[in-house]
Structure 1
Amino acid sequence: MTLLSARRVGKVYALTRYSFALQARNYTQPAQSAARKDPQFRDYFVTHLPSSSLHPDPRGPTSPFHKLPRGASTPHVGDTSQSPAAFQALVDRETTVVRIPLRSAKHHFGAVTARGTRPANEDTYQAGVIDIPAFAKRPPTSVTIKRRNLQDPVAQPRESRGAETASGDPQVFYFGVFDGHGGTECSSFLRDYLHEYIQNAARDIELQSSLRPGATVPPTTTELPVMQEGDRRRIGALEKYLVQTWRRIVGGYFKRFKPPHFAYDGTESTDPAIADHISVEEVVEYAFLRADLDFVQAQASKQEDDPVRAERPLNDDEIFHRPSMTRSPHIGGRARFKGGSTGSVAMISTPTPAPFWHPIAPSSLLVAHVGDTRILLCSTETGEAIPVTSNHHPSSPIEASRLRRYAATFVTDSFGEERMSGLANTRAFGDVHSKRIGVSAEPELKRIELGPAEFSFLVLVSDGVSGTLLDQEVVDIIKESKTPEQGARDVVNFSTEVTREGDNATCLVLRLGGWERRQEGGVGSMGTRESRNWRRQEAADNPRRSRT
């Protein structure tokens, strides 16, 4: 076959694949969709601060309330008849909306990563505000009516609350940690684009907010998952096309797989809990599998060791040679990338404008997890570490039963860990050569309703931390820190100090409502202090015990 004919065949295949994708994308496409704005991901959050904190308030009280007699300075309890007039003037003062960079807000969020003894750091992370409708549970009607009637400034704090988005919903926060293997191509792709897949999926199916006043509520919304209004037929068509593409391109395990949250077989159902209602779990699962499919397709289309292709510019196939026009042909760099990445994503939505770290604010936590990165919660009452994710390893009974009939062999390495075809993870993004035996990016989804101050903080770590430290050790180290940023730094420093593998270590710490009481539960940080001191002393006495 000549080079010209090969190019023609490639163009025909590309056009055919594009036409199938276009049909699925344009399925029941509304006429007004072209006018919708693309969702925007922001690395800052918006909040309200008192105007007097930015400049002097000319309408301030005539006499400062701190000079009142002791008998007149009673605590404010929401009753205006008993509150000092000067204090009430401070409560009613105007607020100013400000933007605070999330990664610089060390009292709310901290992220630290270290290379360890590896040649390069393949870990990445992301943090910001994602532009999707709220998915929090709607607050009870009795509470809403009570707050509206009382006009209680304590129930609706004007200060220290987040500003609503353009759609009127409270902000939805997004945090993710990604652990690459074989290189940074896949983990960097997830860091830069995974949130876009979630945003675009929610926009394409016209997902509506769970807090919208006029939204129709199916009978099952009192239970989880929370169902939200959306275009059921459209997401059914997208899911069906996605599954068929996996079967046609990859085959093997994907000939029989059906994601647990996909419901494309029931798109025409008359059940009020299904018709025109979608859960955010289904959207996230679709986004994960769509991102993985695009990455795998991009790697499969590349020619290995092709000197002609290697000399061409990366943007040679793009319109006007502009890299910003498309990213699909060049996902993962110039050459075929055979590695992959694990990842854990945490999204937090609140039913009120009060941010999730406020002590009176309830919130909904949605966790999507692939591989052996780890997410932990710290209980305010007991001080215990609560694992939210599980490791997707061949030694897991669930994963073993899922893959036993597809995998070629299960072997045990010299460290006593089971591996499947040389891989330690049974779920991961990428890993092109292991897709047929079932290494997929099907996320393990879990939704947790966080009560006011029920948990002290949330932790996301890569396996460089979780493979070295116990869950309780990670939590106890953070308890002793003054800020989440210091807590993340202390965890990474201790992990790299006592590690035996020297793997890349990344830690993200999120402040929750019970942060100020993090030392009160159980025995505080004393439970593992003795063992941590012993491990630190052992590492100091034998610095080269495992790094020769």
Structure 2
Amino acid sequence: MIVTSARRAPGQARSLADSSSFLFPRRARLRYTTEASHDRPATRRRQFHDYFVTHIPSSSLHPDPRGPASSFHKLPRSASIPHTGDTPRSPTNFQALVGRETTVVRVPLRSAKHHFGAVSARGTRPGNEDAYQAGVIDIPAFAKRPPASLTIKRDAEAQSRESRGAQTASGDPQVFYFGIFDGHGGAECSAFLRDNLHEYIQNTAADFELQSSLRMTEAPKVMEGAEEIAEIDMATMSLPVMQGGNRQRIGDLEKTLVQNWRRLVGGYFKRFKPPNFFYYGAESAVDARTTGCSSIEEVMEYAFLRADLDFVKVQAAKRDDDLVQAEKPLNEDEILHSPNQTRSMKIGGRARFKGGSTASVAMISTPTPTPFWHPASLSSLLVSHVGDTRILLCSTTTGEAIPLTSNHHPSSPIEASRLRRYAATFVTDSFGEERMSGLANTRAFGDVQSKRIGVSAEPELRRIEMGPAEFSFLVMVSDGISGTLLDQEVVDIIKEARTPDQGATDVVKFATEVTKEGDNATCLAIRLGGWERRLEGGVGSLGTKESREWRRQDATDPRRSRT
């Protein structure tokens, strides 16, 4: 369940102010108020499943009583002919088998090795601070609707031949969610994001009253004083794709969230204006002229900032010197049958957690029930990124690795210019890497002691419209892999694997063999429409094969000096 701001009992506000004195200014402590949770309409609990739903022919589960008595599918290759139904030797009811009734089944995503693979290794570190999540998220579809010319005259029989997923309760196709989180200073923050970030996204979409992009066929109403806008085909509109929403409520939520950041933290957040918040003047041609609309980008930015605010707020309310409280078990004050009643104060353990975590989230939405890994399927990929975890795409035509994220480090010109006003201490460590107040990442969740200088969780957002079989697979890795292997090396290793699960295993194994740092290594591999053609582009996986073999031999050489 989502962690929300609970009402404090009388006398508890002083404890919050006293415990956060080392972090935030006195004015902020006096004026700080939590977001009003009673404004949220009563909605059902949003569902997140670690499985996907699909349709398969009934014969896959039970024998078909309508089928022929002979096992025609076991004929030798020389005696077999195409099953067209128009020849004497082919089964007359084969066409009936194609259009027969289908059975809805649930396939556990983490067990679907031909579709998804995830492997995590501790390396030489004392513990594994990486975390990941994968499943189906309960939000409206945000896919860009295909042109009408591709949908109005579709052959019904051909459509029945396609493998297709089930629709959600709202009638939209399933939206898939993949996240990778790299903690630092401990695993408390990365575990919090693994267990809760998808719920923040779901609840934000519900609070915004976000509508499906597949049902919006005309432009929203125009603001007062503006010229009237004719109906617009949403498939032809430029990005971002606008979706229906409660504009008044969205503005109130965004205003309250930014004010809470200013009052609680101050510093960098005194002039903070999220770029995708409509209330603070999001730069979009559609936003500037219309009302009653929102976008999935706005939802993701709000969800990231809200999750970070809740995590930081709970850490600020804790005391470092309360040794008696720190030694108590975490479940001591749980209520019978309601173990989550006191969960908000347990985020990060009893003592204040000063570490943080990076986060990279990939969500895939399709305009039809055909799943995104089908070779003929169109899909929309949205990437939300904070920190230095990495997301890559493999191009089917060229075989090249396409990075979708950038590292949020002090060495980045964009990050340096954003933080120069507040972070006066940029230093270079012994490895030649720039750091800011001892931190390698300029954007992260948590890190309560660095919030005032601008270490925020405002995500870098990127949307990619993926054509049929345009990309072979999607890769998500932590810095234990991206800091050791080149992007093309990661992609080439997965090309050689038979399944995404084997590819993720091979990437982690190779990175662990050749690394000099021994950092935690996590890899997620997701199959896309061009998976079967992954070796056709360019030189296949031969581009880095020689260098990878040399690196493996050098790493396993017993004469190699290790530091």
Same structural fold, with TM-score higher than 0.5 when normalized by the shorter chain: yes
- Cα distance in 1 for residues equivalent to 2:118 and 2:351: 31
* Contact 1:303 1:309 (8 Å CA) reproduced: no
Counterpart residue type for residue 313 of structure 2: Q
Cα shift at 1:309: 2.8
- Structure 2 residue corresponding to 1:383, chosen from 399, 406, 422: 399
Q: For the structure 1 residues 132 and 18, does the alpha-carbon distance in structure 2 shift closer, same or farther, using more than 3 Å as the test?
A: farther
- Structure 2 residue corresponding to 1:21, chosen from 35, 41, 45: 35
Cα shift at 1:316: 6.5
Structure 1 position 170 matched with structure 2 position 200: no
- Structure 2 residue corresponding to 1:365, chosen from 365, 373, 381: 381
Question: Which residue is 1:261 aligned to?
Answer: 276
- Cα distance in 1 for residues equivalent to 2:470 and 2:321: 55
Unaligned residue ranges in structure 1 (runs of 5+)? none
Question: Which residue is 1:506 aligned to?
Answer: 522
Cα shift at 1:21: 1.8
Question: Which residue is 2:256 aligned to?
Answer: 241
* Contact 2:218 2:232 (8 Å CA) reproduced: no
- Cα distance in 1 for residues equivalent to 2:133 and 2:80: 49
Counterpart residue type for residue 35 of structure 2: A
Q: For the structure 1 residues 108 and 543, does the alpha-carbon distance in structure 2 shift closer, same or farther, using more than 3 Å as the test?
A: farther
Question: Which residue is 1:192 aligned to?
Answer: 195
1:15-35 superposed Cα distances (whole Å, 9 cap, x missing partner): 99897522xx455x6xxx42x
Cα shift at 1:93: 1.6
Cα shift at 1:327: 2.3
- Structure 1 residue corresponding to 2:141, chosen from 134, 142, 153: 134
- Cα distance in 2 for residues equivalent to 1:270 and 1:359: 33
- Cα distance in 1 for residues equivalent to 2:202 and 2:173: 16
Structure 1 position 538 matched with structure 2 position 554: yes
1:60-93 superposed Cα distances (whole Å, 9 cap, x missing partner): 257776579999945879x9xxx98443122112
Cα shift at 1:233: 1.1
* Contact 2:378 2:467 (8 Å CA) reproduced: yes
Structure 1 residue runs of 4 or more that deviate by more than 3 Å after TM superposition = 4-20, 61-77, 83-87, 213-221, 269-274, 311-322, 542-546
Counterpart residue type for residue 259 of structure 1: P
Q: For the structure 1 residues 40 and 351, does the alpha-carbon distance in structure 2 shift closer, same or farther, using more than 3 Å as the test?
A: same
- Cα distance in 2 for residues equivalent to 1:433 and 1:57: 65
- Structure 1 residue corresponding to 2:498, chosen from 470, 477, 482: 482
Question: Which residue is 1:90 aligned to?
Answer: 97
Cα shift at 1:307: 2.9
User: What SS does structure 2 have at the residue aligned with 1:146?
Assistant: coil
Question: Which residue is 2:22 aligned to?
Answer: none
* Contact 2:447 2:455 (8 Å CA) reproduced: yes
Q: How does 1:235-314 map to 2 (within 5 A)?
A: 235-265=250-280, 274-310=290-326, 314=330
* Contact 2:33 2:260 (8 Å CA) reproduced: no
Question: Which residue is 1:227 aligned to?
Answer: 242
Counterpart residue type for residue 494 of structure 2: I
- Cα distance in 2 for residues equivalent to 1:12 and 1:185: 23
* Contact 2:419 2:454 (8 Å CA) reproduced: yes
Q: For the structure 1 residues 354 and 321, does the alpha-carbon distance in structure 2 shift closer, same or farther, using more than 3 Å as the test?
A: closer
Cα shift at 1:160: 2.1
Question: Which residue is 2:367 aligned to?
Answer: 351
Counterpart residue type for residue 127 of structure 1: A
* Contact 2:212 2:243 (8 Å CA) reproduced: yes
| Backbone CA RMSD of aligned residues | 3.1
* Contact 1:60 1:89 (8 Å CA) reproduced: no
User: What SS does structure 2 have at the residue aligned with 1:183?
Assistant: coil
Cα shift at 1:232: 1.1
Structure 1 position 449 matched with structure 2 position 465: yes
Counterpart residue type for residue 206 of structure 1: E
Counterpart residue type for residue 279 of structure 2: Y
Q: For the structure 1 residues 417 and 5, does the alpha-carbon distance in structure 2 shift closer, same or farther, using more than 3 Å as the test?
A: same
- Structure 2 residue corresponding to 1:496, chosen from 492, 507, 512: 512
- Cα distance in 2 for residues equivalent to 1:212 and 1:299: 42
Cα shift at 1:59: 1.9
TM-score by length of 1: 0.90
* Contact 1:133 1:209 (8 Å CA) reproduced: yes
- Structure 1 residue corresponding to 2:52, chosen from 40, 45, 58: 45
1:494-528 superposed Cα distances (whole Å, 9 cap, x missing partner): 00000010000000000000000000000000000
Cα shift at 1:257: 1.4
- Cα distance in 2 for residues equivalent to 1:11 and 1:187: 24
Cα shift at 1:9: 3.8
Cα shift at 1:323: 2.8
1:154-181 superposed Cα distances (whole Å, 9 cap, x missing partner): 2x23552101111111000000000000
Number of equivalenced pairs: 529
- Cα distance in 1 for residues equivalent to 2:66 and 2:10: 79
With 117-126 and 208-217 compared, the bigger mean Cα shift is at 208-217
User: What SS does structure 2 have at the residue aligned with 1:138?
Assistant: coil
* Contact 2:358 2:389 (8 Å CA) reproduced: yes
With 481-490 and 135-144 compared, the bigger mean Cα shift is at 135-144
* Contact 2:35 2:260 (8 Å CA) reproduced: no
Question: Which residue is 2:115 aligned to?
Answer: 108
* Contact 1:460 1:508 (8 Å CA) reproduced: yes
- Cα distance in 2 for residues equivalent to 1:60 and 1:220: 46
- Structure 2 residue corresponding to 1:203, chosen from 202, 206, 221: 206
User: What SS does structure 2 have at the residue aligned with 1:501?
Assistant: coil
* Contact 1:63 1:86 (8 Å CA) reproduced: no
* Contact 1:65 1:73 (8 Å CA) reproduced: no
Q: For the structure 1 residues 8 and 276, does the alpha-carbon distance in structure 2 shift closer, same or farther, using more than 3 Å as the test?
A: closer
- Identity between Structure 1 and Structure 2 (%): 73
- Cα distance in 1 for residues equivalent to 2:412 and 2:271: 21
Q: For the structure 1 residues 205 and 167, does the alpha-carbon distance in structure 2 shift closer, same or farther, using more than 3 Å as the test?
A: same
Counterpart residue type for residue 261 of structure 1: N
User: What SS does structure 1 have at the residue aligned with 2:186?
Assistant: coil
Cα shift at 1:324: 1.4
1:34-56 superposed Cα distances (whole Å, 9 cap, x missing partner): 2x311110000000111011011
Question: Which residue is 1:425 aligned to?
Answer: 441
* Contact 1:456 1:511 (8 Å CA) reproduced: yes
Question: Which residue is 1:526 aligned to?
Answer: 542
Unaligned residue ranges in structure 2 (runs of 5+)? 1-8, 20-28, 221-230
- Cα distance in 2 for residues equivalent to 1:271 and 1:496: 47
Q: For the structure 1 residues 13 and 436, does the alpha-carbon distance in structure 2 shift closer, same or farther, using more than 3 Å as the test?
A: closer
With 365-374 and 411-420 compared, the bigger mean Cα shift is at 411-420
* Contact 1:377 1:456 (8 Å CA) reproduced: yes
User: What SS does structure 2 have at the residue aligned with 1:60?
Assistant: coil
Cα shift at 1:8: 7.3
Counterpart residue type for residue 105 of structure 1: A
Q: How does 1:391-430 map to 2 (within 5 A)?
A: 391-430=407-446
- Cα distance in 2 for residues equivalent to 1:71 and 1:227: 56
User: What SS does structure 2 have at the residue aligned with 1:100?
Assistant: strand
Question: Which residue is 1:180 aligned to?
Answer: 183
User: What SS does structure 1 have at the residue aligned with 2:547?
Assistant: helix
1:453-505 superposed Cα distances (whole Å, 9 cap, x missing partner): 00000000000000000000000000000000000000000000000100000
- Cα distance in 1 for residues equivalent to 2:475 and 2:287: 39
Q: For the structure 1 residues 84 and 274, does the alpha-carbon distance in structure 2 shift closer, same or farther, using more than 3 Å as the test?
A: farther
